[in-house]
Structure formats: structure tokens, C-alpha cells
Structure 1
Amino acid sequence: MLQNNTSPTLDELFGRILARQPDQPALIDPPDKLRVTGQPPRRLSFAQADRAVSALAGHFIEAGLPPNSVIAVQLPNTVELALTMLAAFRAGLIVALLPQLWRQAELTVALNRTGARAIVAMGRIDGVDHADLAMNAAAEAFSIRHVCGFGSDLPEGMIPLDNVVSSLSADSSRLAIQDSRRPALLTFEASGSGFLAVPRTHVNLIAGGLAIFLESGLPQGATILSALAPSSFAGLASSFVMWLLSGGTLAMHHPFDETMMMRQIETERCDTLVAPASLALRMAEADVLSSARSLRHVVGLWRTPEQVGSSPLWPQNGIRMTDVYLFGEAGLFGVRRADDGSPAPVMPGPYRAPPEVPVSSTAGEVILTPKGTLGLRGPMVPVAAYPVTDRPVDPFAALTPPPDYVDTGYAARIDRATGGIAITAPPSGVLAVGGYRFLADDLQEWARRLGQNAMLTALPDRLSGHRLAGRTDDNARAREALTELGLNPLMVEAFRDRSVPG
């Protein structure tokens, strides 16, 4: 691959591991991949993964995708996702991560907003025909010129990539020059104007991964089990990027089958679990995790960071937990739990690696804004992607530099007892449902489309932040209408029949 003299890209990190340990295991599929996608699970060494990545990168270049063009990716948590991302980076492309639950309406908006030139999908995921969704969304996006996918029974017009991955020939003479300062990733944030595309460079991504990696104290060569759908900055930084930083093995879990997860941890001898914090706490309280003798670290992601302070104690079972506070696509920070298992206070100011880690660089900074909200700044935070819309209008406004931080919108205050920052409430008007964020106004708009007596609302939920609930004169017809509109299952299933269990 062609390299430069700046900070490494993610593909260059992969190349460094490849040079040291080509035959070590790199990527491991979920054991139930055959059920999820119809494809058998795979285990790849770094050398095998490198050949697949080069073949895919060569294919993207031969397809006429110029450097710095956007390639949209909607894939499950399988080896194909990691291979496609590394191949896109090697070809100089920008990956737009599309959440797995997105359907045609959201896909079409995202493709048009980013000007994507290509889309990569899986044939089927959990019985849903994602290849067909990708084809229909691409037909409504004028910029799309290349539609391809993994899996069998792909629709006519979709280029199969499984044959490309297994190809032994890869022309490396036309690969793009690696530059860590160029955009590498686009993720999507709910904003007042709809989906906000948030770009990040390789440097931004590596900074986010380092903030978690150093705080959690993961060892080099870690075997990481990721139980997240990596369709966001946080999901990617805590799994894909941490894998490259540790130089170990990334085992993937299709969320969430606790029995399957424990079997994976034991079979692969995983020392690290990356999962939603609520799931990890529930499993720890049930004394499930203590049976995994190899497990030493749990990285728990909180999409509802205002709930961390009131969460249960982490059991003293020889496993350390790190709470990772997520603030949409703006940024994150990790705080390792205290020795008694309680959440450690979040102190204002710079956050660095723990004292026992021989690294002194600042991972970022937590601030309390004049509005009483929490702000983030640092090398992972894409300040330019979040325009300031409420600056006062005065004749000297042009002379005032814009803020060098992103206001997350989360209400916060200084706790007098600890001196730390207490996060008290999420941003108004934005609802978190599991790993997805909606505008409250959007829910009302979709409900109005269903008729005069329709209602769609978000109810508080301890595990996922909110859950959607809907009511109309004919719930079955409402589900059909929302599906026809191309909305995701979270909205559709809000109108399920409550008289039927589950």
C-alpha cells in the first residue's frame, strides 16, 4: 500500500499488525451467522483478511470509484463489515455507515444527502431482504452508480462481492495514497433539519478508540467480543478501532443472544466484552459473566449517559468495567469504575489515560457550557460538523470566533459533593430508542399521516432510554402503511397488537 509520513490511517495500523503476525487470528464471525445471513461463519487470519481487503479495494477502484468518493455500507456485525471498511480505506474512499434497522425512507435520504457513489449491502439479515432495500433506495439516489452485496440470491443488477473476496489476484499498483487527515467515515445524527451527516478523519476515529482503549486498560493482543451493531462512531471506535489498536482478535456477535454470547466468550477465550452497559449490568447481576474464566474487561456503552450515576454497583468478580458515555455522534469518553464497583465521578477538564498507563496525551476535554449543558472538545470531536445556530446577532458577531467545542445538549451541573459533572437530562426534542435517535417532531409527523385518531409516542425505558408505543383504529393497517412508507421496524412495531404476547 502507498503511505505518507503523517499519522497512520486505520489501514496502516492493520498493515503494521499484518507485518508482525500474519498468521494470527484477526476476525471471527458470529457462530449463528448461517441463521442470520444464510452464509457459513468464517475465521480469518491477518494474512487472509489482507488478501480479501486488497481484492475488494481493487474491485472498488476498477469500478471507477474515485478517491474521496462516498461508499455507503449497510452490513451486520460480521467479517464482511470489517473487510469492506478496510478495503474502502485502502481505495481512498469515505465510508457512510447506515444503521441496520434503516429501511428505504432513511436509506434514500442518507444516500442523497451524502452523494454516495456506491452502496454495499448483505443479501438477507434476520429474514429481511436488505439487498432489495438497497436496490430500491439506490434507484432514488441519482449519485449511485455501483450497487453490490454479499450473500446468495442477490437481485439482478447487484454485483456479488463474495467472488471478489475469494479472488487471489489483487492489483496494488492503483491503490490510493493513505492520508489520515482525509475524511474516512460518515455517520448520521438526528438534528432539527433531519439527518446530519457527521464526517470524521482517521485521526478522529483513532482518538475515539484510544480514549476507550487507554481508560479501560485493555492489553495488547486482546481478544475482543463485540456485541454491538457498529453503525455509529461509538460502535466503530469501541470495536473495530480498539481491535486495530490492540493488535489482537475481533470476534463478532450478532446482538443479542446471551447464551450464544457466553458460548462465544468461552470458546474464543475472550478477555474483553464490548456491549451495551445495561445488558452487561443485567448479566453481571444474574451472575452470568463470572462463569467466563477468561473475561477480564467489560466496556459498557451508555446511550443514555444521564443514567450512569444511578446505575447498580458492578459486582466484585475479577472483571473491571469501564463506563463509556455516548453523546450521539458528537463524541464520547470512558471512565473506569471505582474499586467498589460504583460509577466514578466525571471531572471537568481534560481527560487522560489512568495514571498506571504510560501515556500522557490528552484524549479530550469535558466542559460545562454557559447554558448549563455538557460540551466536548478534543481530537475526536468534529466541531465543524455541528453549526452553532443560537449565537447572538450583533454587529460584532463576525469578530467573535466560533466555539471550539460541541454542545451536546445534555443538561449538566457541578456536583458539590464530588466536584464532578452530573449529567441530569438528555437533549430536549431528541429521543433515544436503543441505538437509534429520533426527533420527537418526526414521531408526531408520521402519526399524522396515519389518520386523525393515530398516536405515536415515546415512553421512558430503563434499558434503552425510550420505547415507542402507538395506537390507532386499526393497528394492523398502520403497520402495513408504515412499512409501505419505508420506515424502520422501531416505528412499525410500535403499533403491534398488545394482546399478543411478545
Structure 2
Amino acid sequence: MSDRTAPRTSQPAANTASPSLDDIFRRLVARQPGLPALIDPPDKRRITGTAPSALTFAEADLAVSSLAAQFVNSGLPAGSVIALQLPNTVEFMLTVLAALRAGLVIALVPQLWRQAELSAALNRTGARAVVTMGTIDGVNHADLAMNAAVEAFSIRHVFGFGINLPEGMTPLDGQPDTSPRFPTQDVRRVAAISFDVTPDGSRAIPRTQLHLIAGGLALFLESGIAQGATILSTMQPSSFAGLTASLVTWLLSGGTLALNHPFDSAVLEQQLVDEKCGALVAPGPLVGRLQEAGMLERLPALRHVVGLWRAPEQVASSPEWTQTSATLTDVYLFGEIGLFGARRGDNGAPTPIQPGPYGASRNEPATPMAGEIILTPHGTLALRGPMVPASAYRPLTDGPRTALSPAPPIAVDYVDTGYAARRDRASGALCITAPPAGLMSVGGYRFLANDLQEWAKRLAQGAMLTALPDRLSGHRLAGRANDNARAREALSALGLNPLMVEAFRDRTAAAS
């Protein structure tokens, strides 16, 4: 990441109207130090090999200060980029808050990324440090981080949580020798970087704390989550939407954040019952499956469900919401560009989306503007507003446009999402009809269609890798080669993520 975009927080910041995320957290610590703040997944030992923990606000604050001191004492100057590849556990939330307290910029690395993508992200952002977990779901992420760091000349430190960390990795489980003075935070400076794929290729998307707070407010106010609620989040916080739906929403509510890996429905249900959760944040397709299974009817304490749709074109055809004790808020996600939410009404159908400005809460028209939705002249949906990093999506080149070049933006503060949309003639509401051309989305991971073929060509003649439509994840990858086992080995050796590797799994046994 260039010096022009990195924050310079070593100097005292000018007075700003908005508090930082750390300011909000410190206020909660001062007001309710003994109340529960963060709760690990109950099956954390299976995921990371370490025991689950639960922290009060005072305990979480001590952990944040300890981590922040370790970062500062290691020699990381304010404004340095620190990459995070962690599971959805307490360590993720503590590390984000600690990095912000130390004046660092967090780079959110998806958990499924392997060495090739991780190395590219470290080099692109000029990261000086990496934080990871020893193992995540049986994968040795410590070795992945160490190997990726070798290919990134800017890396000076590799930090790790967990057990059996390799030599050369700095553990983050100890206490710092000294407590340094932390820099003053400026919410207008870049605080986080996420990664997106556009028709122009992969991009690193920098965001300020104001962007993060604006996204969290839009989600929190629209969903109506109560102050002090216990929120259970199954969202991996390695994206703008995942971070705002979990960390930022938790800080705004002032309640408790429980974390979960949504691989086991029985564990999820038991955790919702044990923690008496009043709110659930989960992928939209998963919410539909939980309703069909009858799980939500067995949760009398649940009052709010927030479903995040990475394939927003699927919302219109989703099942009606039949729960009477809990409300459902659909959150439309458009890569890393932005989001908006719409709480469903009494009829259980998705709320019609009208173009134009919208407030942080659609039920309270007087709330501050969260953003604006427009239909572009070429039939796509565009966004602008306080959460949209418009400058990050400007064309990568100023050269002459060709017939294949994307159309110019309507205005400098708008970002065209690329999602095809049209207006309903009767109601005037927007109908999102298709994802961006040339992009494939598998859950939270986006690929260029051309990239899939390029990777397939590196295997052997006749190898094919493609994306097929999938109701739950948008697309699923499928591959074909003369020897699928050798194809998997080759893709693993190239350092590609398991979505591509497992596309070449042997289907013979399944077919029989």
C-alpha cells in the first residue's frame, strides 16, 4: 500500500465529530466492565486446537491493550499494514481492536486463501506483519503465513495464536514487557483493507473507520437489534460486510457478541439456546434452511434475524418469512462496494427496494442518509453514500476506452456494482436480475471467469475448470482433467485455495 493511502496517525488527529471504534469500545468498558463481551464458538477446540473462552469487557480491554503493546513494541510504526487471517473466534475481534488502538491498518485476508493469494495480498498492500492461527480446521496456517512472508519483502513480523507454532513465528499469548503510549486515532484515515474482484481484476479496497461505522449503523438500525442484545454471528469477518455485521454491530449494540462456525446445525442451535441470543447474523441462504428445518421456532429468545445475501439477485425468490416471534432483515451485499438492508413486513415477503436515497433505518425516515441506490442508463445498479469507497473503484487506467471497456461512472461518487437491474412497471421497485458479467461468486469468494480457465490451462491439455449455478452459494466450481488426483496435487502445489482444488474431486464414488 502506498504512503499516500496509508494513515499517518503518529500525530494527534484533529477533532472529529465521530468517535473511533476503539472510543466506542472504551466507553462500553467504562460503563459495564463486568458484563460479558465476547464468547468463542463452543467447538473451538475442533477448529483451532485451543479451548473456547468467554471474556468480560474489562478482560477484553486488557487483552486488546496487551496485543496493541506487542505490536508497538515490535517496532511497527503507526500506519503500518498488518494482515489478519484468522477464524471466527475471539482472537479475530481482539486483534482488530488492538491493531486500531496501535494505529495500524488491518488487511482482512479470507480464511480460504492459500499461499499464492496470501502472498499477492501481502505484496499489494505492502504489509509489514501477518497475524494468523496455528491451525484452522486442520490446515496449518502458521506454515502458510511463514511461506507467504518469504515471498513478501515488506514483511517484518509473523505473529501467531495457538499451539505448536513454528520457529520464527512470534506468539501472541504472552504479556508485553512495557506499555507504550498509543497514537491518537483519526477516523478519517484508512483503517482497514479488504479485497474485491472486479471486471478489471483484483483490487485492494481501503476504508476508513467512518466507512465501517456507516455500514454498521445501516445494518444495526434497519434490523432493529436491541441495545444490550446478545448477538450470535456466523459470518467470517474477513470482508467489509462480515466485519460490520459482527464487530461494528456488536459495538453499536453494547451487548455480547457470540461467534460460531456454521458447520454443525446442532452446535449452532445449542449455542443460541445456551447464550439466550436475541439476534442471529447469518448468510441469507442459511437462514432459509434453518427456517425450513424448524430450528428457529424452537428459539423463544430470538427476536432479530439478519440474513446477508452475497448473491442479492436471489433475495426476490427466497422463501417467505413465517416466524412470528422474530423479524428478518435482508442485507444486500455487492462485493466490497457496499450494502443496504430491508426488514421484511408482516406478509413475510422481501421488502420492495425503491431507487433513491435511503436512511439508516427505513422505518425512521428522519435518520441520517445511509446511501443512495440508482439505476444506471445501461441497466445496472449503482451505490453511493458514506460507506462506499468510490475512489477505490475508479478505472485503473486513464487510457483510451475500447468497446470492451466498462462504461464510465455516472458521477465520481457513485460506484456501479455491475449487477443487472430493472424497475417494475407497476410498483417502480428495483428488481436485481443477474450478477456482474464475467464474475463468478462462490460464497464470499469472487473469481474472474477468465482466471478459472487460465489456471486450468496450467494443469494439462484438456483440463477444464468452470463455475456452475448454485442456489446456496451463487456458484460452485467443477473441474475435469484426465487425472483428477494429479490435478488436485498440482493446484495445491501452486498455492491455490481449496475451492479450486476440490473442484477436481473424484465424483465416481458419489455417482455410484
**TM-score computed with the length of structure 1 as normaliser:** 0.95
Q: 2:467 aligns with which of 458, 466, 475?
A: 458
Deviation at 1:229, TM superposition (A): 1.1
Counterparts of 1:341 and 1:129, CA distance in 2: 44
Q: Secondary structure at the match of 2:248?
A: helix
Q: How much has 1:401 moved relative to structure 2?
A: 9.4
User: Which among 358, 364, 370 is matched to residue 371 of structure 2?
Assistant: 364
Which residue identity lines up with residue 15 of structure 2 in the other structure?
N
List runs of 5+ in structure 1 lacking aligned partners.
395-399
Match runs of 1:406-417 below 5 Å: 406-417=415-426
2:213 maps to 1:206: yes
**Would you say the 8 A contact 1:55–1:170 is kept in 2?**
no
Look up the match of 1:179: 186
Shift of 1:417: 2.0
> Residue 3 of structure 1: CA displacement?
7.8
**Per-residue deviation, 1:418:** 1.7
* Partner residue of 1:59 out of 47, 70, 85: 70
Equivalent residue number for residue 493 of structure 1: 502
Q: For residue 27 of structure 2, what is the aligned residue in structure 1? A: 16
> Which residue of 2 is the match for residue 144 of structure 1?
155
Matches within 5 A, 1:251-400: 251-354=258-361, 357=364, 360-388=367-395
* Contact map agreement 2:361 2:367 (CA 8 A) in 1: no
Change beyond 3 A, Cα 1:275–1:257: same
Structure 2: gaps spanning 5 or more residues: 1-8, 402-408
Cα drift, residue 402 of structure 1: 5.0
1:344 offset after TM fit, Å? 0.5
Q: Which amino acid aligns with 1:250?
A: L
Q: Decide whether aligned partners of structure 1 residues 30 and 24 sit closer, same or farther in structure 2, where only a CA change above 3 A counts.
A: same
CA contact (8 A) 2:297 2:323 kept: no
Residues 258, 296 of structure 1: CA spacing in aligned structure 2 closer, same or farther, 3 A cutoff? same
Deviations 1:268-307 (A, max 9, x none): 0000000001010111122111101111111000010011
2:20 paired with 1:5:
no
Match of 1:476 among 464, 481, 485: 485
Matched, 1:244 2:268: no
Q: Contact 2:134–2:161 (CA<8 Å) still a contact in 1?
A: yes
Q: Please give the alpha-carbon distance, in whole angstroms, between the structure 2 residues aligned to 1:298 and 1:35.
A: 27
Residue in structure 2 matching 1:40, options 51, 56, 66: 51
> What corresponds to 1:397 in structure 2?
none
Q: Matched residue of 1:500: which SS?
A: helix
1:28 to partner: Cα distance: 0.2
CA contact (8 A) 1:214 1:354 kept: yes
Contact conserved, 2:342 with 2:362, CA < 8 A, in 1?
Answer: no
Task: Report the AA paired with residue 292 of structure 1.
Answer: L
SS of the equivalent of 1:162 reads: coil
Residue aligning to 2:454: 445
Corresponding residue to 1:95 among 86, 106, 113 = 106
- AA matched with 2:151: E
Secondary structure of 2:100 counterpart: helix
CA contact (8 A) 1:353 1:359 kept: no
CA contact (8 A) 2:230 2:277 kept: yes
Alpha-carbon contact 2:233-2:260 (below 8 Å) kept: yes
Q: Deviations over 1:170-208 (max 9, x none)?
A: 614x20111111111100001345420001000000000
Greater Cα offset, 383-392 or 59-68:
383-392
Q: Deviations over 1:214-263 (max 9, x none)?
A: 10011111110001111100011111110000011000001321111110
The question of 1:435 aligning with 2:444 is answered yes
The answer to whether residue 92 in structure 2 is matched with residue 81 in structure 1 is yes
- The equivalent residue for 1:225 is 232
Secondary structure of the residue that 2:174 maps to in structure 1?
A: helix
Tell me, yes or no, if the aligned pair for 2:376 and 2:410 is still in contact at 8 Å.
no
Q: CA deviation at 1:425?
A: 0.7
Give the alignment's Cα RMSD to 1 decimal: 1.9
Deviations, residues 66-87 of structure 1 (Å, cap 9, x unaligned): 1111000000000000010000
| Paired amino acid for 1:5 | N
1:19 positional shift: 1.1
Amino acid at match of 1:37: T
**Alignment CA distance shift 1:213-1:171 (3 Å):** same
The alpha carbon displacement at 1:310 in A equals 1.2
**For residue 132 of structure 1, what is the amino acid of its counterpart?**
D
1:105 maps to 116
- Aligned AA (2:29): L
8 A contact 1:4–1:177 mirrored in 2:
no
**SS of alignment partner, residue 261 of structure 1:** helix
Mapped to 2, the partners of 1:389 and 1:155 lie a distance apart of 39
Could you tell me how far 1:435 is from its partner in structure 2?
1.1
Partner Cα distance (2:62, 2:51) in 1 = 19
Alignment match of 1:235 (pick from 232, 239, 242): 242
Corresponding pairs, count: 493
Partners of 2:509 and 2:173 in 1: how far apart?
Answer: 40
1:256 partner amino acid: F
